[in-house]
Amino acid sequence: MPLHRPTQAQPVSGGRWLGGLASAMLTGLACGGLWALASLYSQRPLEWFAVVIGGGLAGLGRYWPLPRGPRLTALVVLACAMAIIARLGLMAVLVLSCTLGTGLREVLVRAGGGLLLQVIGLRLDHLSALYYAAGLIVAAVLARRLSA
């Protein structure tokens, strides 16, 4: 059974916009978690995976409950950014947990946002930032092309 994909620009009600926003945020969080898991399993940073996630989210965005257009493109880019942020945050928590010898829950409760941002900043280099930017650009271009 094919999924319904709106093709024409229609007025977007608040409920549909909120549903699309929730879909984008949750999909981005799920992709970030899976990306962090893949990084842990392979024992490599896998920053290049941002480009793959950007393309995948652009294809998946077609099935969100919004008509195609610039709003859908913005939501796809938001989902990709959410995946990058979720992956960076999860990896920072894992690094702190291993360094301090405590559990993940303890680090999440005790570590503040400032400490997590410092750990993220220590692990972020120029090549990683380029991969993340490329992932966002791929998400925007493909979402725009698919929503035209």
| Predicted confidence (pLDDT) per residue in 74-122, tens digit | 999 999 999 999 999 999 999 999 998 998 889 988 888 889 999 999 9
Top-confidence residue, 27 or 65:
27
**Mean pLDDT of the region 54-64:** 88
- Two tokens at 33? 């978690």
Residue 94, pLDDT score:
92
Q: Is the pLDDT of residue 13 over 80?
A: no
Q: Is the pLDDT of residue 58 over 80?
A: yes
